[in-house]
């Protein structure tokens, strides 16, 4: 599922550190050397490099990257170089400092498109980094948005069963519960939050399938025509359903939306590629073909320079 290419003979963390150290020396940074090392190492290897760099050079690799690199390229490399749970904890914290409701979607992505163990690691990292829990901050930040608060709390505190076992009778029953809530224009009721926040992804996918088979439309389609007292709730609920049912579709849409129109939303593009390169980028690239183009082609068309080269390395395509 990962699209990053790792050499068959991986240098030691100390060798990689020396290559990076040399890249930072002189009159300018050797950006290609930075890409050659960091874009071709997995999370475990990048963590070992960061630890070795601090031990050998008495400074933080992240701090050095921030001082050496700039622009969208610098942001992308720094995001990639971080340990994934710490990176996502910082993204969650950043999301709650923004007033733009689009940033709430970052919380949904972390809560619903992550494995149970990764979400737990994010929550642990959040406590360490910010001296408060993710749950506390969600509770405080969304205190005046009751429906949204209940949904987000249910999702970020969830620890789902991660197996494939499914109860078909339960799926049919909860599909009916979801349909009743949506048809009665009450998608923000407690039963919806309970179902989405407690069931395994396999169970929920079965429930969503039962929903479509019985009622002729998908839950996503019915949510589109529904309404709620909190007009911010429906878009968030839709993204939660999409991230649980088909994260590759969600992130393909994030990439596409960041590229089409006037200008490029580099932050969204970077986040989607960096956070999914080691998770399901192969599936995202396959899903992207429904736009009658390729993800690689769109990245090439809307980015340039080292930023382009770095993103292409993460999605598995190198500039000749």
Which residues carry a binding-site annotation for Ca(2+)? Answer: 24, 26, 28, 68, 259, 263, 302-303
CA distances from 88 to 84, 184, 271, 275 (A): 6, 36, 10, 8
Residue 307 burial (CB < 10 Å; 0-12/13-18/19+)? buried
Residues 6+ apart with CB under 8 A from 275: 84, 87, 88, 91, 109
Give the C-alpha separation, 104 to 93, whole Å: 10
Annotated binding site: 24, 26, 28, 68, 259, 263, 302-303
Give the C-alpha separation, 169 to 225, whole Å: 27
Give the C-alpha separation, 306 to 311, whole Å: 9
Contact 315, 281 (CB under 8 A): yes
Give me Rg for the CA atoms of the chain.
21
Q: How many CB atoms lie within 10 A of CB 231?
A: 9
């Amino acid at each position: 599922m990962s699209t990053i290419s790792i050499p068959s003979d991986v240098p030691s963390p100390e060798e990689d550190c020396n290559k990076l150290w040399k890249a930072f020396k002189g009159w300018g940074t050797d950006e290609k050397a930075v890409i050659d090392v960091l874009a071709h190492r997995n999370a475990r290897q990048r963590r070992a490099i960061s630890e070795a760099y601090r031990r050998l050079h008495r400074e933080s690799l992240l701090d050095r990257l921030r001082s050496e690199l700039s622009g969208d390229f610098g942001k992308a490399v720094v995001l990639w170089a971080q340990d994934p749970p710490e990176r996502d904890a910082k993204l969650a914290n950043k999301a709650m400092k923004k007033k733009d409701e689009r940033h709430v979607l970052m919380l949904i992505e972390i809560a619903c498109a992550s494995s149970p163990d990764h979400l737990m690691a994010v929550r642990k990292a959040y406590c360490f980094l910010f001296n408060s829990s993710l749950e506390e901050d969600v509770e405080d930040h969304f205190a005046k948005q009751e429906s949204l608060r209940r949904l987000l709390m249910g999702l970020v505190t969830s620890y789902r069963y991660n197996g494939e076992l499914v109860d078909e009778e339960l799926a049919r029953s909860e599909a009916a519960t979801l349909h009743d809530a949506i048809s009665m224009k009450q998608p923000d009721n407690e039963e919806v939050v309970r179902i989405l926040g407690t069931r395994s992804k396999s169970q929920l996918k079965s429930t969503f399938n039962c929903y479509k088979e019985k009622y002729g439309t998908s839950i996503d389609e019915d949510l589109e025509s529904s309404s709620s007292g909190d007009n911010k709730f429906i878009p968030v609920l839709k993204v939660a359903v999409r991230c649980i049912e088909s994260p590759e579709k969600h992130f393909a849409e994030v990439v596409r939306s960041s590229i089409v129109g006037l200008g490029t939303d580099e932050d969204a593009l970077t986040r989607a590629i960096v956070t999914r390169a080691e998770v399901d980028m192969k599936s995202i690239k396959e899903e992207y073909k429904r736009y009658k183009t390729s993800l690689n082609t769109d990245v090439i068309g809307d980015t340039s320079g080292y930023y382009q080269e770095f993103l292409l390395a993460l999605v598995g395509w190198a500039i000749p």
